[in-house]
Amino acid sequence: MIDKFNIRVYGIWLKDNKILVSNENIDGFKMTKLPGGGLEFGEGPVECLIREFKEELAVDITVKQLVHATESFVQSVFRKNEQVLAMHYLVECEDEIVSLNTTQTTHVGRQNIHAFEWVSLAGLDLSTFTFEMDQLALHRFFQLF
């Protein structure tokens, strides 16, 4: 039974015709996704995205515009009682990333290992993204830009 919402906020950072992608591993569950994470109580989506990029990459981003929001029901892969709602924003940043490899502790005590990479738009295969919501957001991104 679905009895909770999980609101996720992600950034599409385009630089030199490349897009930043996050390859993550949480307790052996490997995923390829856009950078971002979960909305916390007391913050808006833009604040969430700024916080997530600061925590994961130690950069200060500027959120430019909403590109995509979840338009249909999505059940969480991690918790079967949760419905996922996601927002994807176009972001900009002048900062340089110091380390593309980071590790964070999740809110439930798991280790999330990040391996970020810049992927050429020319060679971007949307099917390599684990979550359909990222694929849909990137499809919308290519339609708009």
One of 3.90.650.10, 3.90.79.10, 2.60.120.10, 3.40.50.11540 is the CATH number of 4-144, namely 3.90.79.10
The C-alpha atoms of residue 97 and residue 83 are separated, in whole angstroms, by 32
106 closest CA partner among 3, 37, 9, 41: 37
**Which amino acid type is present at position 61?**
I
- The pLDDT-based confidence of 26 (bands split at 50, 70, 90) is confident
Look at residue 103 in the predicted model and tell me its pLDDT.
Answer: 87
The C-alpha atoms of residue 2 and residue 123 are separated, in whole angstroms, by 37
Q: Determine the number of helices (DSSP H) and then strands (DSSP E) in the chain.
A: 2, 8
User: pLDDT tens-digit profile of 50-71?
Assistant: 999 999 999 999 999 999 999 9
The C-alpha atoms of residue 111 and residue 93 are separated, in whole angstroms, by 27
Token pair, residue 4, equals: 């909770």
Which helix (H) or strand (E) element contains residue 55? helix 45-57
Look at residue 109 in the predicted model and tell me its pLDDT.
Answer: 73
Residue by residue, DSSP assigns 119-139 as: EEGGG--GGGSSSHHHHHHHH
Q: Is the pLDDT of residue 27 over 90?
A: no
Share the mean pLDDT of the chain.
Answer: 94
